[in-house]
Amino acid sequence: MRVLMIGAGGVGDAAARIAVERDFFEAWVVADYDLGRAERTVAAAHGRRPGDERFTAARVDASSAEAVAGLAREVGATHVFNAVDPRFVMPIFRGAREAGADYLDMAMSLSQRHPEAPYEQVGVKLGDEQFAEAAQWEADGGLALVGIGVEPGLSDVFARYAADELFDHIDELGTRDGANLVVRDEDGNEVFAPGFSIWTVIEECLNPPVVWEKGRGHFTLPPFSEPEVFDFPEGIGPVECVHVEHEEVLLMPRWIDADRVTFKYGLGEEMIAVLRTLHTLGLDSVQPVSVKGVEVSPRDVVAACLPDPATIGPRMEGKTCAGVWVRGTGKAGTEWEGRPRSTYLYHVVDNADSMRDYGAQCVVWQTAINPVIALELLATGSWSGTGVLGPEAFPAGPFLDLLAAPQPEGYGSPGGIEAKEVTA
pLDDT tens-digit readout, 107-128: 999 999 999 999 999 999 999 9
Residue range 24-80, pLDDT digits in tens: 999 999 999 999 999 999 999 999 999 999 999 999 999 999 999 999 999 999 999
Phi, psi of 85 (to 5 degrees): -75, 165
Ordered structural domains, the chain, with CATH: 2-104 (3.40.50.720), 154-363+413-421 (3.30.360.10)
Q: Give CA–CA dist 376/358, Å, rounded.
A: 19
Which candidate, 314, 417, 410, places its Cα nearest to that of 362? 314
- Residue 358: pLDDT band by 50, 70, 90 thresholds? very high
Checking if the pLDDT of 307 tops 80, the result is no
pLDDT of residue 196: 65
Give the mean pLDDT of 179-202: 79
Taking the CA atoms of residue 26, residue 399, residue 97 and residue 200 in that order, the dihedral angle to the nearest 10 degrees is -110
User: Residues 6 or more apart from 6 whose CB is under 8 A from it?
Assistant: 12, 31, 32, 60, 62, 68, 80, 81, 82, 83, 84, 88, 92
Determine the Cα angle at 144 with ends 138 and 145, to 5°: 130
Q: Which of 44-48, 238-242, 303-307 shows the lowest per-residue confidence on average (mean pLDDT)?
A: 303-307
Q: Give CA–CA dist 300/399, Å, rounded.
A: 36
Q: Which of 52-66, 132-146, 276-290 shows the lowest per-residue confidence on average (mean pLDDT)?
A: 276-290
Q: Give CA–CA dist 15/310, Å, rounded.
A: 12
Residue range 312-351, pLDDT digits in tens: 778 789 999 999 999 999 999 988 999 999 999 999 999 9
Q: Which alpha helices (H) appear in 207-315, and where do they start and end?
A: 248-255, 269-281, 298-305
> Contact at 8 Å (CB) between 396 and 160?
yes
Bridge partner list, 262: 174
Checking if the pLDDT of 243 tops 70, the result is yes
Give the mean pLDDT of 295-311: 83
Q: Which DSSP string do the residues of 142-200 spell out, in sequence order?
A: -EEE---BTTTBHHHHHHHHIIIIIEEEEEEEEEEEEE--EEE-TTS-EE---SS-HHH
Checking if the pLDDT of 423 tops 60, the result is no
- Residue 420: pLDDT band by 50, 70, 90 thresholds? low
Q: Give CA–CA dist 399/113, Å, rounded.
A: 34
- Residue 424: pLDDT band by 50, 70, 90 thresholds? very low
Residue range 83-104, pLDDT digits in tens: 998 999 999 999 999 999 999 9
CA R_g for the chain: 21
Residue range 378-408, pLDDT digits in tens: 999 999 999 999 999 999 999 999 999 999 9
Q: Which alpha helices (H) appear in 256-409, and where do they start and end?
A: 269-281, 298-305, 351-358, 362-380, 396-404
Determine the Cα angle at 27 with ends 26 and 33, to 5°: 165
Checking if the pLDDT of 132 tops 60, the result is yes
Residue range 192-233, pLDDT digits in tens: 777 667 877 887 788 899 999 999 999 999 988 999 999 999
pLDDT of residue 195: 66
User: Residues 6 or more apart from 152 whose CB is under 8 A from it?
Assistant: 106, 107, 108, 246, 247, 248, 251, 390, 391
pLDDT of residue 101: 98
Q: Give CA–CA dist 180/238, Å, rounded.
A: 9
